[in-house]
């Protein structure tokens, strides 16, 4: 199984940014966590992070025809980006949305998720564990 994990803007600042919300673990810790889970499961995984909306769109488009699943935390673009929504819809790759924090219990502008409209599932508020849940959901699909 080939998996793409996409992380949006400011997630590279994990460990520094708002630790009361996002915790003290770093972005490298997150990448190591995801890679370790995938290695254990024999999943071929690429983890990508960008602060740029167009780069995320390009990455989703490049996954067309060669990727079995996408785990995406679009970060702030979750709540603004129709372009990321459209890219996910265009490639038709099973996608799962993840948020470290519980976006629905935060400010009202975080309650809207455009990307989530193209995702089969959302895991929010589980910290790093949400990525594991998303990977396992997609792994379960690919075993069907």
User: Cβ of residue 85: shortest distance to ligand DQA, in angstroms?
Assistant: 15
Angstrom CA distances, 129 to 32, 99, 121, 135, stand at 13, 10, 14, 10
Give the DSSP H or E segment for 49.
Answer: strand 44-49
By CB under 6 A, name the binding residues for ligand DQA. 10, 73, 75-76, 78, 99-101, 103, 110
In angstroms, give the least distance from the CB of 61 to ligand DQA: 21
Q: How far is the CB of 78 from ligand DQA (least distance, A)?
A: 6
Please say if 77 is a catalytic residue: no
Structure tokens at 43: 């999943």
Please say if 79 is a catalytic residue: no
* Residues acting as catalytic residues: 22, 99
């Amino acid at each position: 199984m080939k998996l793409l994990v996409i992380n949006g803007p400011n997630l590279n600042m994990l460990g520094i940014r708002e630790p009361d919300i996002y915790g003290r673990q770093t972005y490298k810790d997150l990448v190591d966590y995801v890679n370790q889970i995938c290695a254990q499961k024999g999943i071929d995984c690429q983890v990508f992070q960008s602060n740029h909306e167009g780069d995320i769109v390009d990455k989703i488009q490049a996954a067309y025809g060669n990727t079995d699943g996408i785990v995406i935390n679009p970060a702030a673009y979750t709540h603004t980006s129709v372009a990321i929504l459209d890219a996910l819809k265009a490639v038709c790759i099973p996608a799962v949305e993840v948020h470290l924090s519980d976006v629905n219990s935060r400010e009202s502008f975080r309650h809207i998720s455009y990307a989530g409209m193209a995702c089969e599932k959302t895991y929010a508020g589980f910290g790093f564990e949400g990525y594991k849940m998303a990977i396992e959901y997609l792994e379960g699909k690919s075993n069907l």
